[in-house]
Amino acid sequence: MDEFKTVIGLEVHAELDTKSKIYCGCTTEFGGEENTHVCPICSGMPGVLPMLNRKVVEYCVRAGLALNCAINPYSRQDRKHYFYPDLPKAFQTSQFDQPLCLKGYVDIVADGQPKRIGITRIHIEEDAGKLIHEVGQTRVDYNRCGVPLIEIVTEPDFENSAQVHAFLEALREILLYTEVSNCKMEEGSLRCDVNLSIHRVGEPFGTRTEMKNLNSFSAAVAAVQYEAQRQRRVLSAGGKITQDTLRWDDAAGNNYVMRSKEDADEYFYFPEPDIMPMVLSDGYIDRIRQTLPELPAHRRERYVSQMGLPLYDAQLLTVSKFISDFFDQTVAAGAQPKSVSNFIMGDIMRLLNERGWAAEKLPISAQSMAELLSLIEKGAISNSMGSKVIEIMFDEAKSPTDIVQERGMAQVSDAGAIREMCRQVIAENPKIVDDYKGGKVKAITALVGQVMKMSRGKANPSMVNQLLEELLN
Amino acid sequence: MSQHRTAGEDLALLTAHEASRCLAEGKVSSVQLTQRMLDRISQSQNNVFITVNLKALEEAAAADARRAKGEVRGPLDGIPMALKDNISTQGLRTTCASRMLADFVPPYSATVARRLSDAGCVLLGKLNMDEFAMGSTSENSYFGAVKNPKDPQRVAGGSSGGSAAAVAENLAYFTLGSDTGGSVRQPAAMCGVMGMKPTYGRISRYGVVAFASSLDQIGPITKDAEDCALVLAAIAGKDPYDGSSLANPLPDYLAALEGGAKGLRIGIPKEYMGEGISPEVRAAVEAMAKTLEDQGAVVESCSLPRTEYALSAYYVISSAEACSNLGRYDGVKYGYRTKEYKNLAEMIEKTRSEGFGDEVKRRILLGTYTLSAGYFDAYYKRAQQARTLIMEDFRKVFHQYDVLLTPTSPVTAWPLGQKHANPLELYAMDVCTVSVNVAGLPACSVPCGLDSQGLPIGAQFIANTLGEAVLLRAAAAAEKGGSV
């Protein structure tokens, strides 16, 4: 019996997908030779001043609106002080008591159960640099200094790792759809810290620990499970949890103490005097609201309830905003939702995979796709011929109609011509005909295949079937 | 202003606008002016410069070449000047008079340095000061104290002591200082020259090594009001690199000089004339008021009741911001690094202990204390509240007056070393100047005669936000009236 309850809250850092840094014009591009994406401002030279990148505010507000937050009409930045070589100013410009976004939520489904996770706040801040430890020396790379981040702080609403995982997936999707962050985990664009405590049912909350260095969703899940079990073991054995900051070691699958409460954080926060307060008008917030795309959860709901697609299709189609947009545009151009979905999940995904292309590189427009599906629906080409046309469209910028015409791929629906081919196949395959007449009804498929082969795939298969039956009986 | 001296006299004694006229008339070259200044700098015994610009003559020759081609950039083209050593100059070391930055060469130039260079000015070098602009005597310098050219046994004032002394000793035609709590005005007063602290945001702070970000402002130190107007016009205005810089258009500062005293409404706040102000200083300021009144100004007594909070609010805010701004000197990226250390924490600790002087450390400790969790509300927040009240006081009196007239410093220059033992007594000397920074207002100090020992007295004019033009009008009128 589980007598303990687990309480979990998250702090997620997402790197914003702006072109330039938060306080200077340097590029935010990942990688680059050490200390080449730097200037006097982001490397903290004496005398420099920050100039806030407006896009950073806009992106944070966009994330806030997508996460159902209230937007703070008056917000400001604060300095958070600590000494570390990757922080060239010895303070991180962040937000303390006046963050841009407050009180939002994300609805998730974990283990089949719906759950609402509260968002406490979202604020903007700058990233720090990177230390490169070598034998006998440590070097510092400031390329990442001043790359804009948002920190999303949740309420302590999670009970288990499944909910944490579902939340991170949902958050990632929303940040991708709103184009706030590229969410590349491998580039550190999405990182999370976990706060976790456990307590016996009916008792007050326990002492919490904070765990850092969770660089993948699987690491977050493993770390939550590990820490919940560790605390359970300690408490079950009559021990006490100390309020430590832990570092997760993903390779080892365990954590260790980075610092304990004795050296608790003292950041000497104070209002950033070099950046004027941010005063956001209702009009500004509304304009950003109007640019928000339809979010993935809503799209899935629409695909299932309004378009009648299976949930499986809806989930696959919404994995990427580009594909989902492509689907919607193709349907809007007159195609049947299920046919579009089938072709996307089948041929298009396969061809993209084979070429190793991101969805955004899809060389087919929604208009062309709808045109192709209309050719199939009208019976001008067969389904299987449709697949061939798509493949050609991946390599040649031609309309499906032109491709079908140029290559003579149109389906033959001329009853006379098909009847003639059927007669010929019956005459050439007496053994199969005998089987069929002897009661092996399925033998007819072999004859259909022969006719299709003879027509080089262009004969209308249902007509072939019908005429063969007619001739044989 | 009334009589223009010419190249016939010692070139060094000319004002910037007189030198400008001589250049325009072809009576002198920028190289000659620059050489004269460099000669005087090399002979000076007052420890005014930290670094001399070895390219000064080159810059002067370029200015002369422009003039020969008829491509003069403006009235300051070819005028030799110098900058306080907390103003970043690309390629020329900028030390802040600190061991921490004794060898630091900035990779970029401050906006004011660039604007003066664009105006054609010749940079003579970088001027001595109190370390990181913390102090009011220019004794807190890693490079030694500045001596007052009027009496080398005495302090030059501070923190822009080098900037004021350079103008007073005719080592530069004008200089720039920075003023966080009086650091331009007070040394100008003590050295007998003019110094202006414009409205917060009127001049870009980009590239000026930060002491207290919400109080710092660059200001010109000049020989007269006309020079002040010329320099202000060259450096003021919006800067895309400083979010706090103001976009308001610049008025015609030169035209403002002609306004005269007639009809000028002058208030004398009684809180600035009471206890602690030396009788000689008070008498000199009163005499200046009388002279202006004789010229047609309306002079009245007025009150700024919250003045008493200004000094404490100033020291809390400035120390908090200083402790934040000076965190970056950790020995990692640039500047001084301690020689021996066992780990990172020890490297940072020893670097800062050895790299900073006592006064800087005192302010950092003060700031750290007031920003600590649990003390923030009691100190920093209350100081900000006091700030609002002080601004309110000023807003009220400026309904009635165009400018306020006060002493700049309660006393004239004191002997070197005298006030070292008691920092609090020294802090109290800032009483006349700090309110202006706390309220973000413009003010200037103008020469106001000499005391019985022959030491300069300074009078301060304070104006409402963006009132630099009326300050220039008052300063020019005071000059015209002649000193006491």
The pLDDT tens digits of the residues spanning A98-147 come to 999 999 999 999 998 999 999 999 999 999 999 998 988 889 999 999 99
Domains annotated on chain A, with CATH: 4-282 (no CATH), 310-406 (no CATH), 415-472 (1.10.10.410)
Check whether A161 has a pLDDT greater than 50: yes
| Between B292 and A431, the higher pLDDT residue | B292
DSSP secondary structure letters along B42-74 = HH--S--EEEE-TTHHHHHHHHHHHHHTT---S
Task: Please confirm, yes or no, whether B126 is among the known catalytic residues.
Answer: no
What distance in Å separates the CA atoms of residue B317 and residue B297, rounded to the nearest whole number? Answer: 36
Q: Is A413 exposed, middle or buried (0-12, 13-18, 19+ CB in 10 A)?
A: middle
Interface test with A, best of B101, B324, B329 (most A CBs within 10 A): B324
What distance in Å separates the CA atoms of residue B106 and residue B95, rounded to the nearest whole number? Answer: 10
Contacts of B344 in chain A (CB under 8 A): 85
pLDDT digits (tens, 9 = 90+) for B242-281: 999 999 999 999 999 999 999 999 999 999 998 889 999 9
B189 part of a folded domain: yes
Identify which of B88, B324, B348 has the shortest CB distance to residue A91. B324
- Identify the closest residue of chain A to B107 by CA–CA distance: A40
Contact B348 A83 (CB under 8 A): yes
CA distance B308 to chain A (A): 24
Interface test with A, best of B104, B208, B333 (most A CBs within 10 A): B333
Contact A47 B371 (CB under 8 A): no
Question: Touching check for A351 and chain B: CB below 8 Å?
Answer: no
Contacts of B324 in chain A (CB under 8 A): 79, 81, 90-91, 268, 270
Task: Please confirm, yes or no, whether B147 is among the known catalytic residues.
Answer: no
Catalytic residue of the set B84, B126, B150, B223: B84
- Identify the closest residue of chain A to B370 by CA–CA distance: A268
pLDDT digits (tens, 9 = 90+) for B61-116: 999 999 999 999 999 999 999 999 999 999 999 999 999 999 999 999 999 999 99
Q: Is B355 exposed, middle or buried (0-12, 13-18, 19+ CB in 10 A)?
A: buried
Beta bridge pairs of residue A254: A249
B457 part of a folded domain: no
Contact B328 A89 (CB under 8 A): yes
> Do residues A152 and A120 make contact, with C-beta atoms less than 8 angstroms apart?
no
Which among A376, A390, A385 has a CA at the least distance from the CA of A348?
A: A390
Contacts of A273 in chain B (CB under 8 A): 213-214, 321
B191 part of a folded domain: yes
Q: List, in sequence order, every beta strand (DSSP E) within B252-395.
A: 265-269, 298-302
Contacts of A45 in chain B (CB under 8 A): 88, 106-108, 334
Contacts of B86 in chain A (CB under 8 A): 47
Domain count, chain B: 1
Contacts of B371 in chain A (CB under 8 A): 81, 268-270
Arithmetic mean of pLDDT over chain A: 90
**In the prediction, which pLDDT does A1 show?**
42
What distance in Å separates the CA atoms of residue B477 and residue B258, rounded to the nearest whole number? Answer: 8
B85 part of a folded domain: yes
Question: Touching check for A412 and chain B: CB below 8 Å?
Answer: no
Catalytic residue of the set B138, B159, B245, B319: B159
What distance in Å separates the CA atoms of residue A407 and residue B224, rounded to the nearest whole number? Answer: 90
Identify which of A48, A270, A274 has the shortest CB distance to residue B371. A270
Check whether B2 has a pLDDT greater than 50: no
pLDDT digits (tens, 9 = 90+) for B295-332: 999 999 999 999 989 999 999 999 999 999 999 999 99
| Between A461 and A90, the higher pLDDT residue | A90
B149 part of a folded domain: yes
A vs B, Cβ pairs < 8 A, gives 96
Contact A273 B321 (CB under 8 A): yes
Question: Touching check for A45 and chain B: CB below 8 Å?
Answer: yes
Contacts of B376 in chain A (CB under 8 A): 269-270
> Do residues A102 and A80 make contact, with C-beta atoms less than 8 angstroms apart?
no
**In the prediction, which pLDDT does A381 show?**
80
Question: Touching check for A43 and chain B: CB below 8 Å?
Answer: yes
**In the prediction, which pLDDT does B8 show?**
59
At position A225, the amino acid (one-letter code) is Q
Contact A46 B330 (CB under 8 A): no
B195 part of a folded domain: yes
Side by side, which strands form the sheet with A209-214?
Answer: A70-71, A101-110, A113-126, A148-154, A4-15, A190-200, A209-214, A245-249, A254-259
- Report the sign of the C-alpha dihedral through residues B111, B116, B119, B124, in that order: negative
Contacts of B240 in chain A (CB under 8 A): 51
Return residues 55-94 of A near B (CB < 8 Å). 79, 81, 83, 85, 88-91
Contacts of A46 in chain B (CB under 8 A): 88, 94, 96, 101, 104, 106, 209-210, 328
At position B18, the amino acid (one-letter code) is E
What distance in Å separates the CA atoms of residue B475 and residue A80, rounded to the nearest whole number? Answer: 43
Identify which of A43, A49, A79 has the shortest CB distance to residue B243. A49
Query: Would you call A349 helix, strand, or coil by DSSP?
Result: helix
CA distance A274 to chain B (A): 7
What is the domain-level CATH number for residue B25? Answer: 3.90.1300.10
At position A421, the amino acid (one-letter code) is M
CA distance A187 to chain B (A): 25
**In the prediction, which pLDDT does A396 show?**
84
- Identify the closest residue of chain A to B333 by CA–CA distance: A88
**In the prediction, which pLDDT does A376 show?**
84
Task: Please confirm, yes or no, whether B183 is among the known catalytic residues.
Answer: yes
Contact A88 B328 (CB under 8 A): yes
What ipTM does this complex have? Answer: 0.94
Contact B328 A83 (CB under 8 A): no
DSSP one-letter code for A373: H
Residues on B contacting A at a C-beta cutoff of 8 Å = 86-88, 94, 96, 101, 104, 106-108, 110, 205-210, 213-214, 240-244, 320-321, 323-324, 327-328, 330, 332-334, 344-345, 348, 368, 371-373, 376, 380
Q: For residue A28, what pLDDT band results from cuts at 50, 70 and 90?
A: very high
**In the prediction, which pLDDT does A261 show?**
64
pLDDT digits (tens, 9 = 90+) for B430-466: 889 999 999 999 999 999 999 999 999 999 999 999 9
Contact A50 B243 (CB under 8 A): yes
**In the prediction, which pLDDT does B1 show?**
41
Contact B371 A269 (CB under 8 A): yes
What distance in Å separates the CA atoms of residue B317 and residue B213, rounded to the nearest whole number? Answer: 10
Backbone angles phi, psi at A461, to 5 degrees: -60, -35
What's the gap between Cα A75 and its chain centre? 29
What distance in Å separates the CA atoms of residue B310 and residue B393, rounded to the nearest whole number? Answer: 11
pLDDT digits (tens, 9 = 90+) for A78-110: 999 999 999 999 999 999 999 999 999 999 999
User: Is it true that the peptide bond before B159 is cis, omega within 30 degrees of 0?
Assistant: yes
- Report the sign of the C-alpha dihedral through residues B94, B99, B103, B105, in that order: negative
Contact B206 A43 (CB under 8 A): no
What distance in Å separates the CA atoms of residue B107 and residue A40, rounded to the nearest whole number? Answer: 7
Question: Touching check for A156 and chain B: CB below 8 Å?
Answer: no
Question: Touching check for A441 and chain B: CB below 8 Å?
Answer: no
Identify which of A79, A83, A268 has the shortest CB distance to residue B330. A83
The count of C-alpha atoms lying within 13 angstroms of the C-alpha of A139, restricted to the half-sphere facing its C-beta, is 8
Q: Is B338 exposed, middle or buried (0-12, 13-18, 19+ CB in 10 A)?
A: middle
Identify which of B243, B333, B371 has the shortest CB distance to residue A52. B243
**In the prediction, which pLDDT does B6 show?**
60
Mean pLDDT on A159-163: 94
The strand pair at B122-127 and B80-84 is best described as: parallel
B70 part of a folded domain: yes
CA distance A243 to chain B (A): 19
**In the prediction, which pLDDT does A262 show?**
55
CA distance B383 to chain A (A): 13
B427 part of a folded domain: no
| Between A143 and A187, the higher pLDDT residue | A143
pLDDT digits (tens, 9 = 90+) for B113-146: 999 999 999 999 999 999 999 999 999 999 999 9
CA distance A394 to chain B (A): 48
What distance in Å separates the CA atoms of residue A75 and residue A69, rounded to the nearest whole number? Answer: 14
Interface test with A, best of B96, B98, B200, B206 (most A CBs within 10 A): B206
Check whether B413 has a pLDDT greater than 90: yes
pLDDT digits (tens, 9 = 90+) for B201-233: 999 999 999 999 999 999 999 999 999 999 999
| Between B178 and B1, the higher pLDDT residue | B178
**In the prediction, which pLDDT does B483 show?**
42
Contacts of B433 (CB under 8 A, 6+ apart): B179, B181, B182, B185, B186, B408, B409, B443, B460
What distance in Å separates the CA atoms of residue B307 and residue B389, rounded to the nearest whole number? Answer: 9
What residue numbers bound the domain in which B79 lies?
11-255
**In the prediction, which pLDDT does B9 show?**
65
Question: Touching check for A50 and chain B: CB below 8 Å?
Answer: yes
